[in-house]
């Protein structure tokens, strides 16, 4: 039987974990969620949720994964010693499946934009109209989604070191530098300060349970926690590496890239007279307009969409990796075949999401399009529930001896983390969730 793989280096693990976190969540979803939910209050709640709730769970996933050195289902079965916990781990498999089914649709949009940037076809009068025409064209969205899934499967079937680690290593730093450049361009446009105010000066009347849940869901989605993806990545990590540092780096990087994306988008939205509440099309409508105002705009635009594609791919491969690792369990020699089989299934399940902006536009499930429904049941419901169970598992099922050995930090820090995952995190998730349900009903 083929042996279980490991990361080649510590840097490889951090970059892969950061690659899993940083993707559409920070670059596409964060700006449009902040834009439709009033800006600054959402931003603040997102930062609080990331540090106080997301980070302890991320650490919990790292600890559980590295300790278990196996797929999530095997780990929960072994340490949870019950079928019940094993069942909970299967939730990660299911949610990974659903997230990737709509994630790959947006991945496809990026491919469409990349091809148009290459061929100079993004220089149009009305970017909103272009976005609508691309996303409503069934042949184009399906083809683009197919190509995106193909690329994802192709990297994952290549395995941990050769596939995932190699892809993440050079792309993350480049993306970061590029975002700083873009933010500078956006901030120096006339009227940019209005956008900065929108992002940072809070209007407290917008503080509601629903905004909090959206911000919490965004923190989970963009940190990739609650679906066992980070647990799976940590399970390929050797015993020498320090987990605390890695979790803090990933969380901070993720906040920084999200805020940077906000600083790229909102100053330009206000300067160019767009609407912050544009929705999922926000970056696709605003970014090409910013590039038009830059020297060598076309060149930068191509480079940008390539980086964006890589950021999206490194997250998509993490999602597929959950499905593959739990799908094959210890039959490592089945990775290749399983990647193609599950990848094809995810593509098929994603078809209605892909068509949600065109021929299935009027079709709704509980008042939402397929695309929104898949997003809501994962980010707003699935990930908080998954995160809740993971934190209870780390807090109450694993012993102090086990977690402190894995975490390897001074006693008071371990005690603080334990307190967070036992009490603060679960209570916060339940309260925010209950506030949202209460508001939706009354």
Shortest Å, Cβ 345 to ligand PFF: 17
Shortest Å, Cβ 124 to ligand PFF: 27
Shortest Å, Cβ 273 to ligand PFF: 29
Two tokens, residue 424:
């603060």
Question: Is the distance from CB of 255 to CB of 18 less than 8 angstroms?
Answer: no
Nearer to ligand PFF, 21 or 110 (CB): 21
The contact set with ligand PFF (CB under 6 A) reads 20-21, 23-26, 96, 99, 221-222, 224, 227, 229, 315, 318-319
Nearer to ligand PFF, 211 or 254 (CB): 254
Nearer to ligand PFF, 12 or 23 (CB): 23
Q: Which helix (H) or strand (E) holds 154?
A: helix 138-157
Q: What is the DSSP letter of 379?
A: I
Question: Is the distance from CB of 339 to CB of 333 less than 8 angstroms?
Answer: no
Distances (CA, A) of 257 to 260, 294, 295, 301: 5, 21, 24, 18
> Whose structure tokens read 């700006």?
31
Shortest Å, Cβ 126 to ligand PFF: 28
For 23, the 3-state DSSP assignment is coil
Question: Is the distance from CB of 282 to CB of 32 less than 8 angstroms?
Answer: yes
Residue nearest ligand PFF by beta-carbon distance: 25
Shortest Å, Cβ 388 to ligand PFF: 16
Question: Is the distance from CB of 103 to CB of 119 less than 8 angstroms?
Answer: no
Nearer to ligand PFF, 141 or 319 (CB): 319
Nearer to ligand PFF, 74 or 404 (CB): 74
Shortest Å, Cβ 190 to ligand PFF: 32
Shortest Å, Cβ 20 to ligand PFF: 5
Nearer to ligand PFF, 92 or 358 (CB): 92
Two tokens, residue 284:
């696709």
Residue of 409, 89, 389, 400 whose CA lies nearest to 248: 409
Nearer to ligand PFF, 257 or 285 (CB): 257
User: DSSP characters for 325-353?
Assistant: HHHHTT-GGGHHHHHHHHHHHHHHHHHHH
Max Cα distance, the chain (Å)? 63
Shortest Å, Cβ 140 to ligand PFF: 22
Long-range pairs for 287-291: beta carbons < 8 A, 24 or more residues apart: 288/113, 288/117, 288/122, 288/124, 288/127, 288/130, 289/127, 290/182, 290/185, 290/186, 290/189, 290/264, 291/122
Nearer to ligand PFF, 231 or 407 (CB): 231
């Amino acid at each position: 039987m083929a042996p279980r793989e490991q990361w080649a280096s510590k840097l490889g693990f951090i970059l892969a974990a950061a690659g899993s976190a940083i993707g559409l969540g920070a670059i596409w979803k964060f700006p449009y969620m902040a834009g439709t939910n009033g800006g600054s209050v959402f931003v603040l709640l997102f930062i609080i949720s990331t540090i106080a709730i997301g980070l302890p769970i991320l650490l919990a996933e790292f600890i559980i994964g590295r300790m278990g050195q196996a797929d999530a289902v095997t780990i929960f079965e072994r340490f949870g010693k019950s079928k019940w916990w094993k069942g909970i781990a299967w939730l990660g498999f299911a949610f990974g499946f659903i997230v990737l089914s709509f994630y790959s649709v947006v991945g496809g949009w990026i491919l469409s934009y990349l091809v148009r940037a290459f061929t100079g076809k993004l220089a149009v009068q009305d970017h909103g109209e272009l976005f609508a025409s691309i996303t409503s064209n069934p042949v184009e969205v399906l083809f683009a989604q197919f190509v995106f899934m193909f690329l994802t499967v192709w990297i994952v079937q290549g395995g941990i070191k050769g596939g995932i680690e190699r892809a993440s290593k050079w792309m993350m730093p480049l993306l970061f530098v590029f975002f700083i450049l873009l933010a500078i361009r956006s901030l120096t446009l006339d009227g940019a300060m209005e956008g900065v105010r929108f992002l940072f000066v809070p209007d407290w009347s917008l503080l509601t349970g629903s905004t909090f849940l959206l911000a919490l869901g965004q923190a989970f989605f963009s940190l990739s926690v609650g679906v066992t993806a980070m647990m799976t990545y940590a399970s390929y990590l050797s015993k020498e590496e320090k987990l605390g540092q890695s979790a803090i780096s990933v969380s901070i990087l993720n906040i920084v890239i999200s805020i940077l994306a906000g600083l790229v988008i909102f100053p330009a939205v206000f300067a160019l007279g767009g609407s912050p509440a544009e929705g999922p099309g926000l970056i696709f409508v605003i970014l090409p307009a910013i590039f038009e105002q830059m020297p060598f705009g076309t060149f930068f635009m191509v480079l940008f969409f390539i980086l964006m594609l890589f950021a999206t791919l490194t997250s998509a491969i993490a999602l597929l990796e959950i499905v593959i690792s739990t799908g094959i369990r210890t039959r490592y020699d089945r990775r290749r075949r399983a990647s193609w089989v599950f990848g094809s299934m995810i593509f098929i399940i994603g078809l209605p999401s892909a068509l949600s902006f065109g021929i299935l536009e009027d079709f709704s499930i509980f008042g939402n399009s397929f695309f929104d429904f898949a997003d809501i049941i994962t980010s707003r419901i699935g990930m908080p529930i998954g995160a809740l169970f993971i934190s209870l598992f780390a807090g109450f099922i694993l012993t102090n001896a086990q977690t402190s050995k894995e975490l390897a930090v001074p006693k008071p820090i371990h005690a603080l983390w334990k307190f967070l995952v036992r009490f603060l995190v679960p209570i916060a998730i339940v309260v925010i969730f209950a506030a949202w349900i209460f508001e939706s009903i009354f």
